[in-house]
Amino acid sequence: MKSPPPVDPESPAPAGTPPDCKGGRQGSKRLPWRMTLSLAYQSLGVVYGDLSTSPLYVYKAAFAEDIEHSETNEEILGVLSFVFWTLTLVPLLKYVCVVLRADDNGEGGTFALYSLLCRHARAALLPPGRGAEAGDVDHQFFYTGGKKALENGNARTLAGRGGGGAAASVRRLLERHKVLQRVLLVLALIGTCMVIGDGVLTPAISVFSAVSGLELSMEKHQHKYVEVPIACIVLVCLFALQHYGTHRVGFLFAPVVIVWLLCISMIGVYNIVHWEPHVYRALSPYYMYKFLRKTQRGGWMSLGGILLCITGSEAMFADLGHFNQLSIQIAFTCMVYPSLILAYMGQAAYLCKHHTIDSDYKIGFYVSVPEKIRWPVLAIAILAAVVGSQAVITGTFSMIKQCTALGCFPRVKIIHTSDKVHGQIYIPEINWILMILCLAITIGFRDTKHLGNASGLAVITVMLVTTCLMSLVIVLCWHKSIFLALGFIVFFGTIEALYFSASLIKFREGAWVPIVLSFIFMAIMCIWHYGTIKKYEFDLQNKVSINWLLGLSPNLGIVRVRGIGLIHTELDSGIPAIFSHFVTNLPAFHQVLIFLCVKNVPIPYVSPEERFLVGRIGPKEYRIYRCIVRYGYHDVHKDDQEFEKELVCSVAEFIRSGASFDKLKNGISEEAEKEERMSVIPSGIIRMLEEDGAAEHTIAVGSTSRAAAREILSPSPSPPPPPPVVIPRKRVRFVLPAASPRPDPGVREELQDLTDAREAGMAFILGHSYVKAKNGSSFFRRLVINFCYDFLRRNSRGPNYAVTIPYASTLEVGMIYYV
């Protein structure tokens, strides 16, 4: 079957390209070579800083306690062999050649893989309002790739419902068993939490290892009082730079990484030529066997230190949204990989001829640096360590944004630092939390060994999760043989499981830190996920039917006031309970009423042609509409004025085209069809012009020929007309397409009502809900809902659409939800 296209219908994937693997928004079309090389240059400063600084601590961590450097050189050559093959198999073969091709429309990371899988199998356990519900039109959009996939009517569906027998079998297995869906979500959350933990640990170990070079130049009783303060000052400066954004930080840091890579590679070449030219023999896998045979258990435990040579490999995938696939591949294969191999070989060559080190520093990076250039190298190393921390911090920001958009993390403030690359973001709250935790760990451990044990476990756990999810992507998304997927997970899973076991055995020696950090973040994600779902379920169970709204006039005397009332709701059908609560206490609402549902669908971007979904509620005379606005988890939300214009224009286009009478053939149940019909409304067809007009005398009418058609009149006698008031009005005009036919009188009247309402202004009605556990709930549920979820809700940001709306036009309606 043909490979499914990405969501953006304007850029279908070429034949033979793996689905969803084109490099995203930047990669949806070929970038010029100049821009690709520029991105590759920037990626050196953002993505590869962590991986490039690993020579600072790998040998020191490997020879910490478990093994000793002997005269036979079997230990040092065995470690070099492990380092070479680990760097070759994991970052080069696994990530550069395979995993980077599995991007989610240009976005990478654990959660992007989970999102990709959920689109190819109905396995999503996302909070409602963040994904699509079965039976609605958005569900059709979610599983078919949008409106154009419907129009084409071919097999190019985003969900990839085709594929071989293996793909179909795995898909059915996932769709039938909720337990497997929960396991999939937990795997994604574990990987995300470990990335956050790595964002705390990597800056600490990188900076501390760079500063530890002072040991060679100071007395032992002096340097221990200098290392920690200097490391803390450097870390504070690093996190303070984050608000400048990836673009500026990348251009600032890239020269540092280039100088550092050239420096360690030249030192490596010097050591190889000067001390041991035959060190290349260690590239044979036979030396790994000799190493394990001689060292046995100690050699196995030292793998926890050797593992640190691939620290930062996951950043290549997590930071993919900041760059593109080709730029990351060019930077690694042409610059990073050869420099690291030369650096490790140079250190091993030096140690082959130096078995007794006079300094307490013992085996480490700086002993292999010629003494004449040691101070300049120390300065470059500290700068490179700062850069090395940038990769995981940037990856952490991307992960948090994906989790927030999909409703698995409390809402935080997200600042887009680039108007060209949408994935470049900065999150202030997360930045300062990472800084505080990083400083606490640096001050608490003050030791490379414990920091290395902690960082190693976090790194290898993320890689294991990526391997598991990637094997499913190979079957479900790429429609490859299940034996290929099994081969992938067995080959790379065995390597990573070996390192994982060596890291986990050091639980009491620092490896407990990432476990505790991930447990805390996991608890936050699960509590937020649980509370959000329970709140939505209450909305579903207490939503009001359309018949209730239509039967209001004879009983309550509802009055319609001029203007547009915009009611925010998470429901995509029915009337929310918050509105019935409002109307019951204040029996009036606006001349034009729009129920707005903002959905974050688990794809990176939604094209403008498919963003707005509009339908009508009740008879045409009531002027009540529903609008569902869909955003991907990397879409940028527009400001209030521009959003208002697009929203009103989409309703106007819905009225003009008569879309409410068109019948969608697929994806809508009969019950939903009787209630309302939703249609995708492309933006930009109708333009709205607004200009300030002079103040005019207008009289609020009680019942005129046209007002009677849009008012629900009270059965009581009409009150006397109010005195005329002077209202400054703005003039609003709709500009129809030149080729469109002249609208009939009914459409003209409805458009005129919309114009009048827009001139009168727009009011935003926001529901402010308080979630409480109902009576009789268990102690655990009361603890989670009444305290934990309530604490997170009160200390998180409001919805994205509520941040920019003018407070003067906002009305909040409070209601308690008992769940």
Q: What integer is the mean pLDDT of 431-436?
A: 92
Residues 6+ apart with CB under 8 A from 456: 61, 304, 305, 307, 308, 311, 499, 503, 511
Write the burial class of residue 705 (CB in 10 Å: 0-12 exposed, 13-18 middle, 19+ buried): exposed
Widest distance between CA atoms in the chain: 107
CA nearest to 126, candidates 679, 506, 633, 472: 633
Residue 770: band (very low, low, confident or very high) from pLDDT cuts 50, 70, 90: confident
pLDDT tens column, 679-717:
888 777 777 777 765 444 332 333 333 333 333 333 444
Coil, helix or strand at residue 652: helix
- Alpha-carbon span 570 to 703, nearest angstrom: 35
Q: Mean pLDDT highest for which of 35-44, 85-94, 150-159, 548-557?
A: 85-94
Does 157 have pLDDT greater than 90?
Answer: no
DSSP label at residue 659: G
pLDDT at 706: 37
In 586-712, which residue ranges form alpha helices assigned H by DSSP?
A: 640-657, 670-675, 707-710
Task: State the pLDDT confidence band at 448, using cuts at 50, 70 and 90.
Answer: confident
Residue 498 has pLDDT above 90, yes or no: yes
Question: Lowest-confidence range among 86-100, 110-124, 606-620, 785-799?
Answer: 110-124
Residue whose pair of structure tokens reads 């527009």 in the numeric block: 638
52-66, 214-228, 304-318, 585-599: least confident range: 214-228
pLDDT in tens, 674-683: 455 778 887 7
* Residue partners of 68: CB distance under 8 A and separation at least 6: 75
- CA-angle at 207, arms to 206 and 213, nearest 5°: 100
Token pair listed for 786: 């009444």
Angstrom distance (rounded) from CA 22 to CA 199 = 27
What whole-number distance in Å separates Cα of residue 203 and Cα of residue 48?
13
**Which of 12-26, 427-441, 790-804 has the least mean pLDDT?**
12-26
Q: 469-478, 663-672, 754-763: which has the highest mean pLDDT?
A: 469-478
Task: Considering only residues 711 and 500, tell me which one the structure prediction assigns the higher pLDDT.
Answer: 500
Higher-confidence position of 613 and 119: 613
b/e map of 252-280 (b: 16 or more CB within 10 Å)? ebbebbbebbebbbebbebbbeebbeebe
Instruction: Look at 19 and 35; give whichever has higher pLDDT.
Output: 35
**For residue 559, is pLDDT > 90?**
no
pLDDT digits (tens, 9 = 90+) for 346-401: 999 998 888 765 544 567 788 888 888 988 998 898 888 877 777 678 778 878 88
Taking CA atoms, 179 is separated from 125, 262, 685, in Å, by: 11, 50, 46
Low-confidence winner among 303-317, 474-488, 792-806 (lowest mean pLDDT)? 792-806
Here the tokens at position 744 are 């009939």
* CB-neighbour burial class of residue 251 (10 A; exposed 0-12, middle 13-18, buried 19+): middle
Neighbours of 359 (CB within 10 A): 12
